[in-house]
Amino acid sequence: MMWILFVASLGTNYKAMKAMQFNNAAEQIKNGLSDGAITVQTLENLAYNSEMCVLIQNRFGDTIYSFDMMAGKCLIHNTNTFALLAYRQNAIESPDGIYYTEIPNRRFNITTMLYVTIIGDRTNPDGFLFLNTSLEPLESSERIIVTQVMLIGILLLILGIGISYILARLIEAPITRIIKSAEILGSGDFNVQFDGHGYAETEILAETLEYSAKEIAKVDTLKRDLIANVSHDLRTPLTMIKAYAEMVRDLSGDNPKKRAEHINVIIDESDRLSDLVNDILDLSKLESGSQKLKLTEFDIVEHIRTLMGRYKLLSEKNGYKFIVSMPEKFMITADIIKLDQVLYNLINNAVNYTGESKEVYICVMPESENKARVEITDTGRGIKEEDLATIFERYYRTEKAKREVIGTGLGLSIVKEIMKLHGFKYGVMSEVGVGSTFWFEVERKTES
């Protein structure tokens, strides 16, 4: 490209520069002639500096000054009078009084440039100025320059190809390594290492892929755990249901007391099963974000009171004590059904884990006009510090809970999702051997 542009512009530029030189020289000579300041010396200097032949004729065609710069190769000094007359005529006929052309000098096999201009008045000229130069230096230097530039071009091209090849190989190496690791990742090995060293971009790519692999691994473990937990939790009540159904069929069918007992177990286990399935469905709906809240304004104090009515049987039959501390009234904005789920889960957990004293405290504490904190406290065994961070994760159950208490391990993650959906803060404080307090904040949204 560079070579083509160079070759294409060289001749044109050179000729344009020559034309300018002619104009300047002609202007200088004509001015000098009109004010009489010109000398033979200045003319000669001008001819030397601009490398041109000069011929000045008077109006009759007599030579006034002549200087042959090109050692006999000058066109104006080697042509006949008729030709010079013709050039003069051309200058007279041209609109600006200048005749400018390229003429080949066949005798010397060169191209010359001719510049003819009128001295004095155009209609009544005092004389004519002929300037003439050869394009020979241009032609020979053009050949040299073009070859030179072509050589440089070829050299640069080879260099460019070489550098590109080396660069391509350098980038290719880490990319090939990353592709190989990605293939391993694709085949299911999430512990694969990505090596992208060599380039900043490939290093970032490798780090990003490694991060993605770790995230996929996490999701994969979670999925495995989920399937294992769900199938385990489904199998336990199913086994019980089957066993008791068989017992009713084979043994207790005719004994109404035993039969009722066994059928009750079947009903209880079926309830557990449907609770589990409902919890799983709830959680997946909440986590997928497809659940929309139906916000209403209601009195949480009154609501908790109604709710506590349902625990009456539990306290009468099993000796649980529910100690409630609430203001007269506190209006909040929430989804009443979802808030019920939260309260049920937390109170049920408190009941399940409260231990010997069988005491559960429920508090509603106003924090400001529109904000209150709800606390559900038990006096059970408490939760170990290291378990506190993970307690709201789905399927997380502390070691002890796994064996002792019936539960799905989904309750607290449902609480978490519902609180997140409402934008309410929530948390837990616990001391081992003393008890736990699960809390959340509720708010009344005032129109703004």
Q: Alpha helix (H) ranges present in 354-427?
A: 385-388, 399-404, 411-422
Query: 47 vs 32, 68, 108, 209, 269, CA distance in Å?
Result: 14, 9, 21, 75, 119
Which helix (H) or strand (E) covers residue 32, if one does? helix 2-35
Which residues have a Cβ under 8 Å from the Cβ of 324 and sit 6 or more positions away?
304, 305, 308, 361, 362, 363
Helix 411-422 crosses helix 336-353 at what angle (to 10 degrees)? 150
**Of 223-231, 234-242, 329-337, 347-355, which part binds ligand ADP (CB under 6 A)?**
347-355
Pairing status of strand 359-366 against strand 321-325: parallel
# of chain residues touching ligand ADP (CB under 6 A): 20
Among 300, 347, 383, 442, the residue binding ligand ADP under the rule CB under 6 A is: 383
Told to check if 118 binds ligand ADP by CB under 6 A, we report no
Instruction: Output the smallest distance, CB 313 to ligand ADP, in A.
Output: 20
Told to check if 416 binds ligand ADP by CB under 6 A, we report no
Joined together, the tokens standing for residue 71 give 């050692």
Among 353, 424, 426, 440, the residue binding ligand ADP under the rule CB under 6 A is: 353
∠ CA 343-382-284, nearest 5°, is 45
**Of 68-76, 159-167, 218-226, 392-400, which part binds ligand ADP (CB under 6 A)?**
392-400
Told to check if 401 binds ligand ADP by CB under 6 A, we report yes
**Of 34-42, 221-229, 291-299, 395-403, which part binds ligand ADP (CB under 6 A)?**
395-403
For the beta carbon of residue 402, count every other beta carbon within 10 angstroms: 10
**Of 88-96, 265-273, 310-318, 397-405, which part binds ligand ADP (CB under 6 A)?**
397-405
C-alpha 71/C-alpha 371 separation (Å) is: 109
Instruction: Output the smallest distance, CB 328 to ligand ADP, in A.
Output: 28
Quick one: 119 exposed, middle or buried, by C-beta within 10 A (0-12, 13-18, 19+)? buried
In single-letter form, the type of residue at position 307 comes to L
**Of 98-106, 226-234, 317-325, 400-408, which part binds ligand ADP (CB under 6 A)?**
400-408
Which residue in 393, 427, 440 sits closest to 413, CA to CA?
A: 393
Residue carrying the six token digits 């892929």: 209
* Stretch 360-379: interaction string toward ligand ADP, x if CB under 6 A: ------------------x-
Instruction: Output the smallest distance, CB 425 to ligand ADP, in A.
Output: 18
Joined together, the tokens standing for residue 174 give 């880490």
Told to check if 397 binds ligand ADP by CB under 6 A, we report yes
Long-range own/partner contacts, residues 106-109 (CB < 8 A, 24 or more apart)? 107/78, 108/73
Instruction: Output the smallest distance, CB 238 to ligand ADP, in A.
Output: 18
Told to check if 409 binds ligand ADP by CB under 6 A, we report yes
Among 29, 69, 412, 418, the residue binding ligand ADP under the rule CB under 6 A is: 412
Told to check if 344 binds ligand ADP by CB under 6 A, we report no
Instruction: Output the smallest distance, CB 343 to ligand ADP, in A.
Output: 13
Q: Which residues bind ligand ADP (CB under 6 A)?
A: 345, 349-350, 353, 378, 380, 383, 391, 396-398, 401, 407-413, 436
